[in-house]
Amino acid sequence: MMYKENFISYLRFEKRYSDHTIFAYENDLEQYERYCSEFHNEVDVLDSKLIRFWMINMIESGLSNRSVHRKLSSLRSYSKFLLKKGVIKTNPVSSVLKPKLRKRLPVFVENDKMNDFLNDYDFGDDYSGMRNRLIIEIFFQTGIRRIELINLKLNSFDNELKHLKVLGKRNKERIIPIRSELLALIMPYINIRDETFPGNESDSLFLSNKGKPVYPRMIYNIVNNYLNYVTSLEKKSPHVLRHSFATHLLNNGAELNAIKELLGHSNLAATQIYTHNSFEKLKSIYHKAHPRAD
């Protein structure tokens, strides 16, 4: 694809997408390129018919409808870029009928279960134990994304104003208020971090056991391991704790716009999915408490 590098530069420097997102775009475009080359002897052709064939091929290969949607979205964004630059006159992805998606409600851990676990579980008082506890607490108490936690710095917290500075998507900074209980965990952790890695010049808040900044798979494994003690949910990821944070706020009367700001959503539609969980809870209470209930 002749203009792929220009597109990637556009995503990186103008749209300010994260490295993770850019990698996904590159991977999707390369997959389409390989498909065209292997099955149609074409390399740099954006054609609705070829795109439709590619979609069918992905579905027949067992790829989920949601993954197919994402890959088509990458191709659509690339086509829009070419359209904007005058390279093409129409967006070929627009005429491709996408597979249907089932609406997925965000899964979450019950507040009581998480609080009981955090109050009772012994994480240990060594470096890794204190680090892991703080990671779980920050996810559960602030709802930040995994990459946002990885990017936290030693100076991201303000002890006097009791808030946390987070660098979100597209390098947008937001402020999240935090409780004194969370602040009380931070200084002891930083102290043991400095004792464990004297002279370490990294300003990253969280370090691996080797003194290097933490990385996405490591954070996922830490959260997944501890959530095994809390829930039988099939999915046990940092995003589950983000969902838990948002759901508990909503269930306790927080306004949707406030939750939107805390989560760093760009629009309210992304936040409204949590209202479905609250409605399901309301229905459950209704059926249990109804005067005609068995």
Residues forming the active site: 145, 169, 239, 242, 265, 274
Written as one string, the DSSP assignment of 94-120 is: GGPPPPP----PPP---HHHHHHHHHH
187 vs 125, 162, 218, 268, 273, CA distance in Å? 13, 13, 22, 35, 36
Sheet holding 163-167, edge to edge: 157-158, 163-167, 173-177
Distance (Å, whole) CA 216 – CA 238: 10
- Which neighbouring-strand residues pair with 153? 204
Pairing of strands 173-177, 163-167: antiparallel
CB-based contact 263:143 (threshold 8 Å): yes
